[in-house]
Structure 1
Amino acid sequence: MQDALFDLPAAPPEHAVIARFQLGGDELGEPDQWSLVFDAERSLGAAVATAGVGEVDGNEFGGGEVVIFAYGPDADTLYRVMEPGLRALPFRPAHVVLRYGEPAGDDVVSRRVEL
């Protein structure tokens, strides 16, 4: 589909890799867990950037878990780059959701992978 005003190609839908890890301690986990997550996030971000497959977009702590978000044009490729770093985090239970397309679309497909 083209943008009629500027005759530009439409941007491809953005896929996502959303990783959820159960933490110990209170609702936000423990400080030593935070440092492991922040270190892993920096490492994941570097790997994703080097591979040129998207970006690691941050994390969210709460409800006794941490969620790490990454986005790119191909969820499978993005996950393949991130998988070793995600599996290295010691927190369990854990899983990843691969989302194929924009979150608001009616036809969004997703797949869950247990870590």
Structure 2
Amino acid sequence: MDDTLFDLPEAPSEHAVIARFRLGGDDFGESDQWSRVFDVERSLGSAVAAAGVGEVDGNEFGGGEVVIFAYGPDADALYRVMEPGLRALPFRPAHVVLRYGEPAEGVWRERVDL
């Protein structure tokens, strides 16, 4: 006899879209760059939520760059929704890493240059 009360489905793995943009100015960029990043991040968050593909989880400024983080069950679907907004940011060089699974050694990653 099985002692399991519920046959719960396995939780989907958390994929990620991690976008990196080189900034000008000092280690944290310039204030006009911040406002552009914040505007695009809000727009991305709305688009991702409306599409139901995950969530934009914030950013990190430092070391002369900004990184925008987003998570969901399908990195490709998440990136398709985010790509136009990410490409709209003018800061270069820039690239996106699509991570297909939890953050761990050996998890498949794909780099896309913007």
Please give the range of the TM-score, normalised by the shorter of the 2 chains: over 0.9
AA aligned opposite 2:54: G
Once the two structures are TM-superposed, the CA of residue 5 in structure 1 deviates from its matched residue by 6.7
Counterpart of 2:8 in structure 1 is 8
Higher strand fraction (1 or 2): 1
Task: Give secondary structure in 2 for the equivalent of 1:9.
Answer: coil
- Gap runs ≥5 in structure 2: none
Task: Give secondary structure in 1 for the equivalent of 2:13.
Answer: coil
| 1:43-82 alignment runs, 5 A limit | 43-82=43-82
- Gap runs ≥5 in structure 1: none
AA aligned opposite 1:16: A
Aligned equivalents of 2:16, 2:66: Cα separation in 1: 16
AA aligned opposite 1:80: R
Aligned equivalents of 2:5, 2:25: Cα separation in 1: 54
| Cα RMSD for the two superposed structures | 1.1
Task: Give secondary structure in 2 for the equivalent of 1:102.
Answer: coil
Aligned equivalents of 1:83, 1:27: Cα separation in 2: 25
Q: Percent identity?
A: 84
Counterpart of 1:19 in structure 2 is 19
AA aligned opposite 1:7: D
Describe the shift of the 1:10–1:27 C-alpha distance in structure 2 as closer, same or farther (beyond 3 A). same
Aligned equivalents of 2:37, 2:5: Cα separation in 1: 44
AA aligned opposite 2:71: Y
- Computing the radius of gyration from Cα coordinates, the structure with the larger value is 2
Counterpart of 1:92 in structure 2 is 92
TM-score for both structures, normalised by structure 1: 0.93
TM-score for both structures, normalised by structure 2: 0.93
